[in-house]
Structure 1
Amino acid sequence: MRRQRASETVERIVSAGSELVHEGPVWDWRGVTFQAVAERAGVNERTVYRHFPNERELRDAVMQRLQKEAGIPTLEGMKLEEIAEITERTLAYVSTFPSGEPMPQDATQAEADKRRREALLNALVPVTAGWSETDRATAAAMFDVLWGIGAYERLVKIWGLDPAEATRGVTWVMRLVETAVRQGRGPGD
């Protein structure tokens, strides 16, 4: 009986954390605190601490819940042919979260982004005759994402690639996308 109550309490705590995550942009976990989770779960803050000794363990449990909600299996043993499907499920799930406020940009950066977007779209026009505007914009956006500083920084900081390796990886994928576009294979193919 005692174990069952403890299990039910943990379930309420993790569910409360999941609800809190669902209320904000998917990348913003600042609202998942012991106090907020305790209030949402209807338990004392000490109860949360009893089951999760630190915020990291609480957030890990909530992350596992989110992955389960998204239908994402454990990633251990993932096969190459599963990557696209798991990505599709993940992004479909992420799209159910509020989008949040766009990151503020200064006028110089906003103008540079606008010029890059226009240049990418214009570069695709001659080789994408017959494509929908959405497919053309999606292909251009893929180049933009790869070109973006965020992708580069992720490769260097998270993956530990040196700058030359990161650049080589980005341009490799860009060439793969370019080849697909030249062969008439769009995002929907």
Structure 2
Amino acid sequence: MAALVEEGGGQEPTNRAVAERAQVTEVTVYRHFPSRELLLKGLWEHLNRKDGVRVGMPESPADLLAKIGPLMASFDASPAQIIGRITTQQGRAARSSLDPERREAFQAVVAQAAPGLAEGEQTKAAAVLQLLYSAYGWISLREQWSLTGKPAADALGWAVEVLLADLKSRGAASIAPDPFAQFTQSTFQPES
């Protein structure tokens, strides 16, 4: 499938075309990849390995910060392939095959950083953190600001640190008891 995608043509390769290219039966393709989503996920993982993107999803706020530099370095090592993955129909389809895992990973990072944060706020924070940790953030810094390598990783790392610190303070504030609640209830009792 990787070869068929690289050859282009604008259309996503069918399972039949993949089977013919691999010189196996279509049933064999389905045995290893029972759904289109799994085939695309397999393609994404193969392309990442091939291009040196071995960073993976973050497992904690600290892990997120530690992985930004290596992730950006892997994007800088093969920019044409990375750009192709986010600008072509095939690349976006393969990338989207990991969306459930991606959402789960970033939701978990936010839950660790700010356990008391409201669910809607957690989703917004996870989405922004994931954007900063993606090829979309990388390409924006590269194309609009001419930042690559360490300066790009530093900028994204700084943004992630600031957001995580803010989330931590918001999360703590939302689960901390209101220091004035008891005072207001006991002091200002209406007279009968």
Q: What TM-score do the two structures reach when normalised by structure 2?
A: 0.39
Higher relative contact order by CA 8 Å / sep ≥ 6: 1 or 2? 2
The structure that is helix-richer by fraction is 2
